[in-house]
A and B are shown apart, each in its own frame.
Chain A
Amino acid sequence: MARTLLTPLLAVLLSALSGAGAWGDTWGDTWGETWRVAYSEFPPYTFTGADGQPAGFSIDLLREIAALRGVELAFQHTPNPGAAIALMQAGVVDIHPNLSRTPAREAVLAFADPHSEIRLQVFARAANASTVGRRLAAARAGGPPLRIAVTKGSIANAVARATPWLEPRPIATTEKLYFALAGGAEGAALFSTTSLKRLDDMLAGPGSFAPVDAPLRRAALHFAVAAARTDLVAALDGGLRDVRAGTAMEAIRTRWFGTPEAGFTAAFVMLLLGGVVGFCLVIVAGVAVVVRWRNARILAAAEARRQVEREALLAELERRNETLRAKAKELEDLLYVVSHDLSSPLVSISGFAIQAQRALVAGKGERAQMAFGRISANAREMANLIRVILELGRLGRASVEPGRVDLAALVGELRRLLSALIQERRVELVARALPVVHADRQLLKTALQNLIVNAIRHGCPQSGMRVELLVETGDGTVRIGVRDSGPGIAMTDQARLFEPYRRLSEEARGQGIGLGVVSKVAALHDGRVEVVSVPGEGATFWIVLPAGAARAAPSSLEAAA
């Protein structure tokens, strides 16, 4: 680093010049003189040190030169370079060391020209640097001038004046010059090494361009001297050459920029670059890992969500399948019941129809009448069954149409409807003090019919037994009961009694559809069905309706059948 800073510094060091052959003669005349130096704050080149004395790289150089020449230095601090120039023009100071590229320095440059030279180098692209070098040598030896690009302005003019073996081709901007060189439009360019470093950085990196020659050894300006002091210019120029040739320069450089470490630049840069690149790689890798981890987490979360959704869907599907299976089972049971219960009266109807026919043919009118009676009864039973089956299917969505229902009249109807069964089983149907209730007449009739038929068929194994109808009110309910004194129902069967179309243990088969209807009828009235039974002591089935739906009212008395 120090080296790259120093090189342009050297390159722009000024030595005074006043005409090509006007110097050198005054050598030796400087002993005992005092050079008056104006300086301003521009560390590290010129500044006021801790001891109050001027210090800095340029100051040290001046002191070295002064020591070589045996002159004294008288320093004068100025607030800025402009003030220093004004002092020089007024003849108050002889020298102003100025190394910065600022507008003020431009002013110094203008002031110093034509007393200054610029230390610049010719650079060519590394690939053709040797070719350029050969052509440069040929040009010096009297061959055709080498076309060389410089930026427009005073430097180009100075180059043109100072280097007749070159053909300076001014180009408007530094950037254009860079690209002309890089693109091969120009064989070489003339740069300070600082500019060259910028060129390298800007184009392909350090080392793209190789130095070919140092055409101008004398730097422009920067130790400004009054035009009037040609002796001083010559002294500075000679002194500078001696400083450059000697070891003093190294000492100064070391003082200000430290001892360069061997291989420091490249190795350190490489190391630093490597470190930076490695660090970046680690960061990038870390970011990548974090991103992947986050992505993985997001994916896992999404997957988990999908899994939950899948499971919910599967559960829903399973639930629906279960519903469908239940429906299918219900349908299957309905078909079973239909095949059983519906074909039974059909068998009778079919049989008695033929018997009636034959009786009529044989002229047995009484016999035919009896058969027709049985046909009618079975047809009614069948119609009833069909109605019940359809009702069962509809019950789920049926609307209840409640009204006044005279239970006594209803039971009378049922007694007539079931007369054949009652007579056949020789059963006593007992009903007392039946009230008027508030319910759907048709539904209630269906329910009671089922209960009575079941009581006769299952609760009256022997003839002469009784089936009793009971009504109880209270607790906001009306309870309509059908009691038998038969074998009763096992506890294990009681809970399953009311499933529609169920297949109970075979003992209870035949009750299913009826009790299912009873249960649904009760549910449609917001009521329920209860069974009270002790095996061996009969059973009582209760239709329990809320009093709102079934308000009991006094009615006619119905005597025992």
Chain B
Amino acid sequence: MKRFLVLLVEDNPDHAELIRAIVESPERDRHVTAVTSGEAALDYLAAAAEGRAEQPDLVLLDVNMAGINGFDVLRRAKKDLGLLTPIVVLSTSSAPVDIETAMSANANSYTVKSSDYARMELDLERLSDYWAEVNRGPVATVEA
């Protein structure tokens, strides 16, 4: 089993806690590092690129944030910084315009936070499984 690190970018503490509860699974070596703003996310990613922080295997990115929002984080990470780390957008919005914006900013996936928690659990578990076990990421991962 590989160590799988998720960078969670979420400014709503409740959401952050709920997502962490689903995604984080120490027994499966899945870990979450949470930041609460877009600025913090970019700082972390920059640091990781320089080796000053652990490289995440996946970024779970909320869109609706104060300051630099999710779309900006996407654009800067993908285009400006040229990061290859997969970024999955997590949003309460299912508006086509938001999905388009995210995809055109090179999001790797777009998911909607379900207000049915059971559904959200299922979605996030499958999402984690996929990105942790099915997807072959560009980042060299260390065997646990």
Task: Determine, out of B25-33, B50-58, B92-100, B130-138, the stretch whose residues face the partner at the interface.
Answer: B92-100
B67 and A507 form a contact (CB under 8 A) = yes
Overall SS of chain B's interface: loop
Nearest A residue (CB) for B69:
A506
User: Shortest beta-carbon distance, A502 to chain B, in Å?
Assistant: 14
Given contacts A352-B14, A506-B69, contact A344 B64 (CB under 8 A): yes
Nearest B residue (CB) for A358:
B21
Given contacts A336-B95, A340-B93, A344-B64, contact A350 B69 (CB under 8 A): no
Chain A residue numbers with a CB within 8 Å of B113 are 343-344, 347
Nearest A residue (CB) for B40:
A461
In the bound complex, how far is the Cα of B114 from the Cα of A343, in angstroms?
A: 8
User: Shortest beta-carbon distance, B79 to chain A, in Å?
Assistant: 15
A348 and B18 form a contact (CB under 8 A) = yes
A348 and B12 form a contact (CB under 8 A) = yes
In the bound complex, how far is the Cα of B137 from the Cα of A414, in angstroms?
A: 46
In residues 344-361 of chain A, which contact B (Cβ within 8 Å)? Answer: 344-355
Q: How many A-B pairs fall under 8 Å by CB?
A: 78
B12 and A350 form a contact (CB under 8 A) = no
Given contacts A339-B94, A506-B71, A507-B72, contact A353 B14 (CB under 8 A): no
The 4 closest A-B pairs by CB, nearest first: A351-B18, A348-B14, A346-B115, A350-B117
In the bound complex, how far is the Cα of B67 from the Cα of A345, in angstroms?
A: 20
Given contacts A350-B117, A506-B69, contact A336 B18 (CB under 8 A): no
B117 and A347 form a contact (CB under 8 A) = yes
A487 and B18 form a contact (CB under 8 A) = no
In residues 164-198 of chain A, which contact B (Cβ within 8 Å)? Answer: none
The 8 A CB mask of B17-42 against A (1 = contact, 0 = none) is: 01001000000000000000101000
- Could you say which of A345, A347, A353, A354 has the most chain B C-beta atoms within 10 Å of its C-beta? A347
Q: How many chain A residues touch B (Cβ–Cβ < 8 Å)?
A: 28
A319 at the interface (CB under 8 A from B): no
In the bound complex, how far is the Cα of B139 from the Cα of A266, in angstroms?
A: 125
User: Shortest beta-carbon distance, B143 to chain A, in Å?
Assistant: 33
User: Shortest beta-carbon distance, B18 to chain A, in Å?
Assistant: 4
- A457-B66, A458-B66 known; 11 new pairs, CB 8 Å cut-off, are A343-B115, A347-B18, A347-B92, A351-B120, A354-B117, A424-B13, A487-B67, A506-B69, A507-B72, A509-B64, A510-B65
B67 and A461 form a contact (CB under 8 A) = yes
Chain A residue numbers with a CB within 8 Å of B80 are none
In the bound complex, how far is the Cα of B14 from the Cα of A355, in angstroms?
A: 12
Nearest B residue (CB) for A378:
B14
A445 at the interface (CB under 8 A from B): no
Sampled A-B contacts (25; CB under 8 Å): A336-B93, A336-B95, A339-B93, A340-B93, A343-B115, A344-B92, A346-B115, A347-B92, A348-B12, A348-B14, A348-B15, A349-B115, A350-B116, A350-B117, A350-B120, A351-B117, A354-B117, A354-B121, A355-B18, A424-B13, A461-B37, A461-B39, A507-B69, A509-B64, A510-B69
Chain A residue numbers with a CB within 8 Å of B12 are 344, 348
The 8 A CB mask of B71-113 against A (1 = contact, 0 = none) is: 1100000000000000000001111000000000000000001
B127 at the interface (CB under 8 A from A): no
B118 at the interface (CB under 8 A from A): yes
A351 and B64 form a contact (CB under 8 A) = no
In residues 321-375 of chain A, which contact B (Cβ within 8 Å)? Answer: 336, 339-340, 343-355, 374
Chain A residue numbers with a CB within 8 Å of B68 are 507
User: Shortest beta-carbon distance, A146 to chain B, in Å?
Assistant: 115
Nearest A residue (CB) for B119:
A350
Nearest B residue (CB) for A370:
B17
In the bound complex, how far is the Cα of B37 from the Cα of A346, in angstroms?
A: 21
A339 and B117 form a contact (CB under 8 A) = no
In the bound complex, how far is the Cα of B12 from the Cα of A345, in angstroms?
A: 9
A340 and B66 form a contact (CB under 8 A) = no
Given contacts A343-B115, A347-B117, A424-B13, contact A461 B69 (CB under 8 A): no
In the bound complex, how far is the Cα of B17 from the Cα of A355, in angstroms?
A: 11
In the bound complex, how far is the Cα of B114 from the Cα of A374, in angstroms?
A: 18
